[in-house]
Amino acid sequence: MDRSMSEQQNSEPQAVEEPKGRPVGGTEYSWCKAVPGGTGITVLGLLLSKTPDLSVLQNALHNLQITHPILRSKLHTDTPTTNYSNTFSYRYMTPPTSPLDLFQIQWFDLPSTAHVLQTTNDNDDDNSFDSDPFHLILEHELNRNTWSRNSASTSSDDTDVLFASVYSLSDEKWVVALRLHTSACDRMAGVWLLRELLELLILRMRGKEEGESGSGGLQEEVISLGIEDYIPSGKDKKPFWARGVDMLGDSLNSFKLSNLDFRDVHSPRASQVVRLQIASQHTHGIISGCKSRGIRLCGALAAAGLIAARSSKDLPDDQWEKYAVVTLIDCRSILDPVLSSHHLGFYHSAIVNTHGIRGGENFWELAKRTYTAFADAKNNNKHFSDMADLNFLMCKAIDNPGLTPSSSLRTSFISVFEDSVIDHSNKSLREIGLEDYLGCASVHGVGPSIAIFDTIRDGELDCACVYPSPLHSRKQMQELVNKMKRILVDASTCVEGESGDC
């Protein structure tokens, strides 16, 4: 009798564990609105000189999905229920994990990769562009919009937040590209995701288990809440009338702000990248100059961009122009509770400042001015109190492009990050053949004219500068970045207190 009962129990269907989920937060929602239009596709690209082992890469990514549940989540979109509403709602749905569900990687062989490179190169507006294959693959991935409502992959209401591809450049070069929805992976999350992936790949190549890695081991049952739920009590408070006045002022003032000259406001857009690299000697001088003046690199990068933008126009001397600068802040260390630096998700906030430029500015004085304006706003908690306002204005711009100059969807001239990423190479990276890497996000929907993703790698400044094309041309942006580089290099030789045009 016991055996028959046991057999009967074993024959009963096992309960299927349901996916867990939660609605997206306010900031996450603004990214869910932005990504279909082309802004907020995060890409991490690795250039390798050794053939990637597909099974090793699959297992490493699967391990990261277990460690960070948001990476295995799907973005569920609820379509409007009536003809009177065009409002979509979004949820993260996190299915249970299974050791049999290995991460799927798209592999491009040599002919397929050659086709991708040719197509990407043909779409470029500048025939003189040095078409480095790694660079082209990065741009191709930035413009693969799986989350677009026009994409064939969106026939289902559920879309993954993480995709991976391997491109065969030759018999000696390969590119591994991770593409993520920015609402699930901000810049700091991308940095740690890349570091953890490299660590796992190295350990697996050495025959060690993933459990021996130092990735943090966050075995969370559900994905964490949005940033709004972690804001310290009272830090996001703003009087009702002050909120209304600020939002009205920001909307009206946006038409008074200056922008780079727009080259083509009508054609379909894509994100392109110009790289800014500065040798270690000059990088050290720039960092030393910032430290001696009590500012951070973001202030210097913003100042170089402002001076370069003003000088790119044929303007009379002393004619003022006012530009908007967005500074992005990783809030993990100032949330309640504090989140670790490798806690994946979107936990950045933004502060918008405007700066008047008339030409002939002293570089270090302008750098200090831009950084001080940002620091004062941060000290007044504007990165928390203005969060809802900026998200609202971002969504309004997406829905009504005409609210932006020339319907360009440009919300600022430049965006920079408060903290620089600092990386140091090590010999273990040679084991997997790592030769180069870049991480950045697309901006050709709503966003700045130029977004700076800066890294100090082995003492050298290396920036991925992303811009919307053909709203801006590659020639135009290459000239802008070249001017920024000259300004920064010249400033690196200036000594604190020295007079002159530093």
Superfamily for the 18-212 domain: Chloramphenicol acetyltransferase-like domain (3.30.559.10)
Cis upstream peptide for 337 (omega within 30°): yes
Q: How many whole angstroms separate alpha carbon 158 and alpha carbon 425?
A: 38
Quote the distance between the C-alpha of residue 203 and its chain's center. 27
Bigger pLDDT: 156 or 288?
Answer: 288
Stated length of the chain? 502
Bigger pLDDT: 154 or 256?
Answer: 256
**33-37, 96-100, 109-113, 223-227: the lowest-pLDDT one:** 96-100
Instruction: Give the angle subtended at the CA of 291 by the CAs of 289 and 294, to the nearest 5°.
Output: 110
Q: Which fold has domain 227-492?
A: Chloramphenicol Acetyltransferase (3.30.559)
Bigger pLDDT: 152 or 376?
Answer: 376
Cβ distance 449 to 269 under 8 Å?
A: no
Of 450, 455, 479, 483, nearest in space to 465 by CA: 450
Instruction: Give the angle subtended at the CA of 306 by the CAs of 304 and 309, to the nearest 5°.
Output: 105
Q: How far apart are the first and last CA of the chain?
A: 92
Of 443, 415, 418, nearest in space to 352 by CA: 415
- What is the rounded (10 degree) CA torsion for 356, 360, 364, 367? 20
**97-106, 237-246, 435-444: the lowest-pLDDT one:** 237-246
Q: Which long-range contacts (CB under 8 A, 24 or more apart) does 125-128 make?
A: 125/469, 125/470, 125/473, 125/474, 126/473, 126/474, 126/475, 126/478, 128/475
Question: pLDDT tier at 40 (50, 70, 90 boundaries)?
Answer: very high
- What is the rounded (10 degree) CA torsion for 33, 37, 42, 45? 160
278: left (phi over 0), alpha (psi -120 to 50) or beta: beta
Domain boundaries, the chain: 18-212, 227-492
Bigger pLDDT: 58 or 250?
Answer: 58
- pTM comes to 0.90
For position 233, what pLDDT does the model report? 92
- Token representation of residue 75: 């973005």
Cβ distance 330 to 345 under 8 Å?
A: no
Look at residue 278 and tell me whether its pLDDT is greater than 90.
Answer: yes
Cβ distance 466 to 460 under 8 Å?
A: no
For position 6, what pLDDT does the model report? 41
290-309 mean pLDDT: 97
Cβ distance 335 to 230 under 8 Å?
A: yes
Domains 18-212 and 227-492 are alike in CATH topology: yes
For position 260, what pLDDT does the model report? 94
Look at residue 109 and tell me whether its pLDDT is greater than 90.
Answer: yes
480-501 mean pLDDT: 80
- Burial bucket for residue 114 (CB in 10 Å: 0-12, 13-18, 19+): middle
Average pLDDT, the chain: 86
215-228 mean pLDDT: 66
Bigger pLDDT: 420 or 222?
Answer: 420
For position 239, what pLDDT does the model report? 58
Cis upstream peptide for 470 (omega within 30°): yes
275-285 mean pLDDT: 96
Angle between helices 387-399 and 240-253 (to 10 degrees): 40
Look at residue 63 and tell me whether its pLDDT is greater than 60.
Answer: yes
Look at residue 13 and tell me whether its pLDDT is greater than 60.
Answer: no
For position 217, what pLDDT does the model report? 43
What is the dihedral sign for C-alpha 410, 264, 474, 30?
positive
Tens digits of residue pLDDT in 367-401 = 999 999 999 999 999 999 999 989 999 999 999 99
Of 179, 105, 181, 185, nearest in space to 139 by CA: 179
480: left (phi over 0), alpha (psi -120 to 50) or beta: alpha
Quote the distance between the C-alpha of residue 152 and its chain's center. 24
Cβ distance 20 to 221 under 8 Å?
A: yes
